[in-house]
Amino acid sequence: MRVNKTVIFEDLGEMEYQEAWDYQTEIFESIVSVKKENRKKEDAGQAAEKTQNHLIFCEHPHVYTLGKSGKESHLLMNQTQLEANKISYHKINRGGDITYHGPGQIVGYPIFDLDNFFTDIHKYLRHIEEAVILTLEEYGIKAGRIDGLTGVWLDIDNSLKSRKICALGVKCSRWVTMHGFAFNVNTDLSLFKNIVPCGIDDKAVTSMKEELGKEVNMEEVKSKLLVNLANLFDFDLKS
């Protein structure tokens, strides 16, 4: 197989959830299709084609998404309430439970062929978490992981104060990833009160704004996060 360490990056700005889901699905399926064709070529003794890697950043209007292993009871609003508050709701094909996306949150969709990096989904998740942890460190926020829980957390050694600042939920097929992470920068945390975030009812949710007591420059955070992701995964960015 021909390894490709270049990642095509796009910042799509604010985009409806369904539109972004359709777009990343199209990219995901195209990469999977190339991998299927490569298998045929290799069996026939022909040279394989390089697979692409993509990274999308965006923000969504208010939306709740429920993973395939999640419980609908973790959404604490009915359809009428959702419509009244202009919040959309989607059942999707990633792992994990329910979460919220909205303005002020960096939503990242890495659509990587892990054959280009390493074929270990747990290492993949830990690399994403580490990129967020390193980014937070640059703002004086100490973050880490909690055993048995995905995502990035603050006050990890105090179960009464532990709070999540970044959630993860992915799908992986033929070592191609989709979906990704939601990093709370200037997020309106009140929207998390309408759900049981990630199915965890004894932990709070926080944001950089909440921790620092002020609005944070989103573009600056994105730039730092990109550098940390590129360093950890050892990829070259292409816009």
Cα distance between the two ends of the chain: 24
CB 58 within 8 Å of CB 20: yes
Alpha carbons 222 and 29: distance in angstroms, whole number? 26
Exposed e or buried b per residue across 152-179, where buried means at least 16 C-beta atoms within 10 angstroms of its C-beta: bbbbbeeeeebbbbbbbbbbbeebbbbb
CB 79 within 8 Å of CB 33: no
Write down the catalytic residue from 58, 166, 172, 198. 198
The verdict on whether 198 is a catalytic residue reads: yes
Alpha carbons 91 and 52: distance in angstroms, whole number? 27
Neighbouring CB atoms inside 10 A of 71's CB total 12
136: Cα separation from own chain's centroid: 16
Quick one: which of 24, 21, 49 has its CA closest to 112?
24
Q: Which residues have a catalytic role annotated?
A: 198
